[in-house]
Structure 1
Amino acid sequence: MHDILILGAGYAGLSAARRLAAELRGEPVRVRLVNASERFVERVRLHQVAAGQDVRLPSLPRLLRGTGIDLVVGRVAALDPERRRVRLEAAGDSAAGGRELAYDTLVYALGSTADPEGVPGLAEHAHSLAHLAGARALRQRLAGLGPGGEVAVVGGGASGIEAAAEIAESRPGTRVRLVSAKEPGAWLSPRGRAHVRRTLARLGVEVRAGAVAAAIRPDGVELAGGGFVPADAVAWAGGLRVAPLAARSGLAVDAAGRVRTDDTLRSVSHPDVYAIGDAAVMYGVDGAELRMACATGLPAGMGVVDRILAHRRGEPARPFRYGYIVQCVSLGRRDGLIQLVRSDDSPRPAVVTGRPAAAIKEAVCASAALIAQHPGRTLTRLYGGA
């Protein structure tokens, strides 16, 4: 029996597990999926959770019913790639603490989380939008604010823009300030940036560009070089980091702790380990590193299966190369931005805005969840990399 162990049930890990189980059905292979919860969490919807919307969290046991995949609920505590063992610790109500799992092939898809280091008070006084617990805590905090409450959203990337717009739209009596080191959406085309500015202004969001958070206090955000942004609640949409597990385990990693892979998504130091998603160094069609995003994790999750199957059968494995098409930013439920991009993720001049963009964004989010839960060969050919 060949044991395939997948760590993490986000977009990358879940799609990889589903496809592997389908492709290897009937063969002497056991596919096991390890996740810290029994729910499939769509990170791209966590700003909606924070704003108080009812977001569905599918049950992993139900999604995996009839697939032959064994779900193990627990948090990965240690990885021993020399012995090919993973040790778990309990997560939530699970009883996996201390359990060891052996593997022949490992798929490392543990994703990323908020980086609380370097900003005093962040862990104590801010709510991270990088995970479900933080989004739920922010929702609860916002629900307790009366008219005239103040919210600071830190981070001018897509997550920060989406959170600021969503909160402002759903809570029109709340004063929302977006704190960003650069202009929000600085990576977008001029038309894209202009639409973001107009929409945030229409929603009443006050933008503090060129402002760097130096510390988070119970009553707001201290800025580097002086200045203060008052807030009854602080939402953190700043940088992400990966867990130190891979580096601690002796896998070859980059300076950020992401697993270094070859062009078939295989660890450069341990050939029985594959790494995908935010926790891996992956490359695009131009040879540049791909960014952390659902847009890259999902294609990698489907694409890694073809590489595992090729290596298993002694066949040449095609290089994984992924090219971008669009970037999608929601601006509340009735507006959005679809930024057309080149394959290297650089912006084209063309954009789609307004209600059509909101509809496209919703369709993209819904289809990403559907593909992760039900990856098929046709979709794999479309999204699974070259």
Structure 2
Amino acid sequence: MEAKPINQVHLNLNYLKTKNFNSAGGKSVTGNQSADKVDFGSDPSLILAESLAFVNQKAISSFGSRDDLNLILEQQLNEINETLHKKALELTNTENNLPDQNDLDYFNAENTANRIYNFATSFYETFLEFGGKEDTQEARQEYADIIGEAIGEGFEDALSVLGVLPDKVSNEIQKTHDIVTEKLAAFVLGEEKTYNEKVTEKVTEKMTELDKDGSNDLSIDETNLSSDFFNNIDKDQNQRLSIEELSQEIKLLDKTKDLSDDLLNAVLEKSESFQEQAEKAHSLSHPSEFTISFLAQNPKVAQAVIGFSGGSSGNFAEFLKDNPDAVKKIIDDPSKLNEVIRAFKLDSITSKLKDNPITDEFLNAHLIELESLFDHPDLLDYFSINIESAQRLVDSY
């Protein structure tokens, strides 16, 4: 679909005027490599991918500061930051430091812009519901004004930290911003679907393919799911999965809002059972007080133990072994899991930031930055060495 000229849809705020981050008066992103910047290495492809990963995270994280949205975003922001930075780390942890082209493409302008747009529009239906509004062009305009300003702030925040970048990288960041702007303009005109509409469309197509009895839902025999995972998705416990139930599961699993073509196939493949996850988590956290039975009944705890125990930023299982009070807190109240994970991340970061302006008090007050540093060890190493840059980050708040 050919993009409409921006001025044809009367978008009001400066964020939707075509910003040029390369021009005078904008952020300095010229090719001068001698200026202060976040050092992602020397390979141009890696610099590009890492920089766009950081822009992706900042653009999305900026939603957390928008009172206008009146939404609880913390958990979703934490999850998307974690997943994006794990993906970025994969680029630099490959053998001979030569990432696969598909991995590099994950952070190209088009894919990065799609993620930012999808996340931005994933709250549109909630915005309508809580505001008692109908889906009109005026409502879409109002929503676009709010989220667009947040996205613009996110780009600017990222550039203020990234500093001077090679021309190829700055041009790709500009292209990413332009694509997001075009998508928001098309959204206002009703020509671009929201994220939730895209999910429903994908699920409906897959449901039609698998629905052998024509019932417009799926039985366990029509999927390859384990029984406990099927029952976990089957919220109304009628032994059938509806489009709504499958869509909700996709939204929960699609942390970075990629809407990958492989995602639905992965969801409907046979999954590891909660019992198998519990046994794996127990072996990692032993000799803590977590029992296999407790972990099987609380799969999110098991998944956290497994997921946070293999990265370079810290080992959650070892943290739990050294902190029995944290284990007891989770056993007494599993909803405290995120609180304990945050304490683990804070401990992992502050152990590497000795006598640094980025203190535990600062990180407790700015959880998005805590997540960024934990999920991006290269950035953490940079700020641990470059004290002046760390001070500028703190002063920016």
Query: Under TM normalisation by the shorter chain, which class is it?
Result: under 0.3
Normalised TM-score (structure 1): 0.25
Q: Which has the higher helix share?
A: 2
Q: Which has the higher strand share?
A: 1
Higher Cα Rg, which structure: 2
